[in-house]
Chains A and B, each alone.
Chain A
Amino acid sequence: MSDPLLQLENATVQFGGLKAVADLSFQIDAGELVGLIGPNGAGKTTVFNLITGVYQTTSGQIFFDKKSVVGRRPYKITARGIARTFQNIRLFASLSVFDNVRCACNMHLAHGISHSLWRGAGFSKEEAQVEKDVMELLEIFGLDGERDMMCRSLPYGDQRRLEIVRALATRPKLLLLDEPAAGMNPTEKVELMKLIRFTQKKFKLAVLLVEHDMKVVMGICERIVVLDYGQKIAEGTPAQIRSDSKVIAAYLGKETVDA
């Protein structure tokens, strides 16, 4: 077996007296689509924040591409190839749809501040290339018609898709999606599932998906990790998870199961 793309080893984070994530270990291989589920407050988003460097682990290790990402600044982790979306959409409110995506190309540019001042031939060429790349991405996701709209005026579902586009523009190897289906209606959810699958194949990505909607998770994930109170209580294929007694207990409460 080859080395995993992302590997968490006993990752733990503590806020005050509370262990939000405790001794969590799992791994994701390149190109895999993994679901991360659990009841409210189980620590799913915290896991994302640990992987992307927004929070620091209290103990434990996180490896990406065989190198530790613990203690790295978030932008450096993104540069290594991890991109994410946010549960509560965090688009750049004063930028247009196009510029939101364009911002994410920042770190792949060869030109720097002085080039944007002088604006020589190299600069123009690169800016044109960025524009082309961004438009291609927007087209794939059907957002090219809205390129000059302010992202605030987009419908909710489009904002979620734009977040995915923006994350893809950083050219990741691993994409973390935080509740991409939240607030969508059933038809939109079906489309989103297709889109995630398509994206994963087209860009050859590994995807880690946090989602509340079981239909979405069970429908597209190859493997699922279940969290409760910051601890991993189960891991396996959708079929295994569905019949796992611990998982059922966590979701429905113990009494119900015992009864």
Chain B
Amino acid sequence: MIEFLQQLIDGFSQGAIYALIALGYTMVFGVLRFINFAHGDVFMLGAFAGLYLGPRTLKLFGAGPSYIGAAAVMLLAMLVCAVIGIIIERLCYRPLRERPKLTVLITAIGVSLFLENFGQFIFGANPKSFPELINNRAFELPEWWGQFSALTITISQVLVVAVTLVLLIAMRHIVLHTRMGMAMRALSFNPVAASLMGINTDVVISFTFGLGSALAGAAGILISIQQPSIDPLMGVNAGLKAFVAAVLGGIGNLPGAALGGILIGLLEYIVVGYVSPTYRDAIVFGVLILILLVKPTGLLGSSEREKV
């Protein structure tokens, strides 16, 4: 029982990270109707931004690990990723906007492979150890919890969930209650009409990419606090899982992405704990296939019909 709860806790915090990455997939898909394959690699770049900027930033806020320092590192990483995201869109996706979807998808695969392999070239292929941004330790659970005090909950786990929650609420606010958010929704609904109504689609799309990439950057820092060993290929698996999460929740749907992320995180830990670690990826992909075949619109998505 305790063991099961422990898996749920670990899975939940892992799922929160998937949720953050999935938000980026979902936002870009919502606006452009295309899967940004390179999104997972932007997440990796966020972690590496933290690796290089972390120690210097921490020094500004005193010697050791501190929350304010960690927050600063995260904001910096988010900024770096936002800029990279916008550049990628500007250079690789924008020229292809009027072309068949497949062209863009292949380009995105190309960008993804490029970031992975160029990352290996620049950062080296071996895992790097991530600097300690906060004192990550387990909470000492009170005695009166009885047998449940044997559970391990780390500060980073709580932090991950809290940050994800804050960012999710912030995203919802941006999308629902700001002018930019309204423009995003308009674009998602009908790009041509939106541009005719005076919406600068280029700016909105850049903003969307920036926002989504910033979230991936935040996720990159959070995962590195939890598992302080990073490598240039860490984005591949995380990106694919987050994609599955976005599809599971209903791609294009923000709360859906969060829900999907959590569910995939939980599923992973349950599979690892009770089935076999080697089947983890296969089962997650199995879920993807199942979802796409049974309910392609995902748990919370709505359907579209081809006009004849």
Contacts and interface: CB of A to CB of B under 8 A. Distances in A.
Interface in B259-308: 305, 308
A118 interface: no
A54 interface: yes
B308 A15 contact: no
A63 interface: no
Nearest to A46: B308
Nearest to B306: A54
A200 interface: no
Contacts of B308: 45, 49, 54-55, 86
Contacts of A15: 305
Contacts of A45: 308
A49 B307 CA distance: 10
A60 B268 CA distance: 47
B53 to A, nearest CB: 50
Interface residues of A, number: 6
A45 B305 CA distance: 15
A84 B227 CA distance: 61
B307 to A, nearest CB: 8
A55 B305 CA distance: 11
Contacts of A54: 308
Interface residues of B, number: 2
Interface string A29-53: 0000000000000000100010000
The majority secondary structure among interface residues of chain B is loop
B306 to A, nearest CB: 9
A86 B306 CA distance: 14
A147 to B, nearest CB: 27
Nearest to B307: A88
Interface in A6-47: 15, 45
Interface in B222-248: none
A231 to B, nearest CB: 21
Nearest to B305: A15
Contacts of A86: 308
Contacts of A49: 308
A49 B308 CA distance: 8
Contacts of A55: 308
A86 B307 CA distance: 11
Nearest to A54: B308
A213 to B, nearest CB: 21
B273 to A, nearest CB: 42
Contacts of B305: 15
A22 to B, nearest CB: 19
Nearest to A15: B305
A86 B305 CA distance: 17
A86 B308 CA distance: 8
A210 to B, nearest CB: 13
B165 to A, nearest CB: 33
A56 to B, nearest CB: 12
Interface in A196-217: none
A55 B306 CA distance: 11
Interface in B56-104: none
A15 B302 CA distance: 13
A137 B308 CA distance: 26
Nearest to A86: B308
A75 B25 CA distance: 37
Interface in B84-128: none
A191 B305 CA distance: 36
A76 B305 CA distance: 22
B27 to A, nearest CB: 26
Interface in A173-214: none
A13 to B, nearest CB: 12
A226 to B, nearest CB: 22
Nearest to A87: B308
In the A-B complex, the 6 residue pairs with the closest CB atoms: A54-B308, A49-B308, A45-B308, A15-B305, A86-B308, A55-B308
6 contacts: A15-B305, A45-B308, A49-B308, A54-B308, A55-B308, A86-B308
